[in-house]
Chains A and B, each alone.
Chain A
Amino acid sequence: MADITVGDTTISPAGAISLRELFAGFFQIAISGFGGVLPWARRMIVEQRAWLNDAEFNEMLSLCQLLPGPNVVNLAICVGARFQGWRGSLVTFGALLVVPFCLVIGAGALYVKYGDLTTVRGAMAGVSAAAAGLVIAMAAKMARSGIDGLRGGFVAAAGFSAVALLRWPIGWVLLGLIPASLILARIFKK
């Protein structure tokens, strides 16, 4: 198969990375991914193993963020498919989830066993509040890079109000908000 070019750089052809390597790479991402997996994914895929160059990684990531579903899971699907078709996707998906899946159930079991102790209750309440703060920070970071004018701010505020304040079901909100946002994006340049 001929090499594909993205930007000015020639990138590795399909098949260049074996199933075994794909598994090892995503396994590494999964076990290092404390506090958010995406930065680790970029580090492994672009910097350490150079499977993709910067341009192709950004392109792939923007697709994964555009589509519904957990972003990093989508990324695993794309990278797997890029090098080994559907088999590759299955392998990267499994490698990404098997360890976190077991860990989270183990942590859940500990919570059920010790969750009623006063100290544990206190610690969990503190962590819950902090974890909520992390999500707010994530929204702020997304806004910093993705919202550059009144139009974007208005759409974000409308989505926030409908879901958080009015508590409307997300399905209905998206059904109205996505077409409206597309029309606004079409009309306003900024």
Chain B
Amino acid sequence: MKPTSPLGSLAYHFVLLSLLAVGGANAVIPELHRVAVEQNHWVSNSQFVDLFAIAQAVPGPNVLIVTLIGWHVAGVPGAFVATAAMCAPSCLLTYGVHRAWHRFYQSPVRLLLQRALVPVAVGLVLASGFVLTQAAALDWNYVTISLVTALVAFGTKWNPLWLLGAAAVLGAAGWL
């Protein structure tokens, strides 16, 4: 049974998403896109990529994309509910596990878990990058921007804000 009110619906979806975010908030972008754009029509495809870009440009954790979607759906209460729902389950889990962690740290089970989960997280984050690139690609120029940004961010230690700024200037000047 799924809740029908906007706040209930936000809470329901983001509580589930919280525990699926293996590899951080950026790992669940495809699922977020599915839930917010395709399933619930909370935002359009282009609004989704715009909101993601805003969340990236503002200082703070990646989870802010969820805050913005909540805000878009139901104003400030929506932002609160979405953020809390996305954080609460994983925070409680972390708090619980943290207490047992010192003994667990040296154990072979942890090493096995780490070796198994890191590649899963890599695959999910890469999928997020793919879905976002596709959603932002109005034509091939935009794909080029995405790929060049990826290469520069991977190969240098420049602050990513410079890259976002350069792309903003190119776009605002109408050169894309």
List residues of chain A with CB under 8 Å of any chain B CB.
4, 30-37, 59-60, 62-74, 77-78, 81-82, 86, 89, 93, 96-97, 99-101, 103-105, 107-108, 111, 115, 118-120, 122-143, 146-147, 151-160, 163-164, 167, 169-171, 174, 177-178, 181-182, 184-186
Contact = CB atoms under 8 A, between A and B. Distances in A.
Contacts of B119: 146-147, 151-156, 159, 181
A127 B22 contact: no
A104 B64 contact: yes
A43 to B, nearest CB: 14
15 contacts: A30-B59, A70-B86, A72-B61, A81-B98, A86-B95, A93-B91, A107-B54, A108-B71, A119-B172, A126-B145, A130-B146, A130-B163, A133-B148, A141-B154, A151-B119
Contact of A101 (B62, B64, B99, B131): B64
Contacts of B34: 167, 169
If over half of B's interface residues share one DSSP class (helix, strand or loop), that class is named, otherwise mixed; here it is: helix
Contact of A156 (B120, B136, B148, B170): B120
Interface in B141-176: 142-143, 145-154, 159-161, 163-164, 166-174, 176
